[in-house]
Structure 1
């Protein structure tokens, strides 16, 4: 198993992850139907997001939380959706990589999922 060490590794990880996501019965509709993601724009942002988180490259410019609030208004993004996102992410990391950065990718994703689920739920209550 390979260590997660380069931007190319992140690109492979993110691409493999989203291949699962778009086919997923529980969360795929957020990407395919609700937001109709432009993958040519979205994927490079995700590469930079994870490069920033894992390698400290500061290549990501954006507000990931802010992007999700409008989606949450159209279709509630619930805990079960974030649990599935997390399950697919962990599965993809573990299928492809090992080592400290792979472990960090999982632990950071757990924090992201928890925070996003909480904020989306709070936003629905406002």
Structure 2
């Protein structure tokens, strides 16, 4: 990614609304799908992009804005892709680098910073689940998961 100009940096805002989250998700996956390392993983998975974007927008809207709507377990959802194209440390690091740089390119503020922290935790949790390894980091791996309450749909 190219360095940002002062004008571009000045126009950044925080992640405040679902539209902001969707913009982040679309931009990130545009980079990831075309990435030399990550692109082949998405190609092998035959990703349905509209569905994937909608699901990830739901996920990150829940993680960052507290909006209900995401259903599922992102760690378990990636097991089939990992079986087809085993994820390496390089995959996790590249995913995190791209996600962080996409946030930094477009957003600034406390929610943007929280997004980077949650992404780091997600990458470490995914690595632990899929590879059985914790990596060289002492980061806690505690992503927030949906809870189901009796009587709530």
Q: Which bin holds the TM-score, normalised by the shorter protein?
A: over 0.9
Separation of aligned partners in 2, 1:56 and 1:2: 19
Cα drift, residue 81 of structure 1:
0.2
Aligned pairs for 1:106-125 (under 5 A) are: 106-122=116-132
Count of aligned positions: 122
Aligned pairs for 1:75-90 (under 5 A) are: 75-90=85-100
Cα drift, residue 80 of structure 1:
1.1
The C-alpha deviation readout for 1:26-73, integer Å capped at 9, x for no partner, is 1111112x1110111111000000000001112111111111111111
Consecutive aligned runs of 4 or more in structure 1 exceeding 2 Å deviation: none
Normalising to structure 2: TM-score of the pair? Answer: 0.77
Unaligned runs of 5+ in 2: 1-11, 134-153
Higher helix fraction (1 or 2): 1
Asked whether the 8 Å contact 1:78–1:120 carries over to 2, the reply is no
Note if 1:93 corresponds to 2:107.
no
Query: Which structure would you say has the larger RCO, counting Cα contacts within 8 Å and 6 or more residues apart?
Result: 1
The C-alpha deviation readout for 1:62-107, integer Å capped at 9, x for no partner, is 1111111111111111111010000000000000001010000000
Unaligned runs of 5+ in 1: none
Normalising to structure 1: TM-score of the pair? Answer: 0.93
Match of 1:11 in 2: 22
Provide the alpha-carbon RMSD of the alignment: 1.1
Instruction: Please point out which of 63, 66, 72 is paired with 2:73.
Output: 63
Separation of aligned partners in 2, 1:118 and 1:62: 18
Aligned pairs for 1:37-76 (under 5 A) are: 37-76=47-86
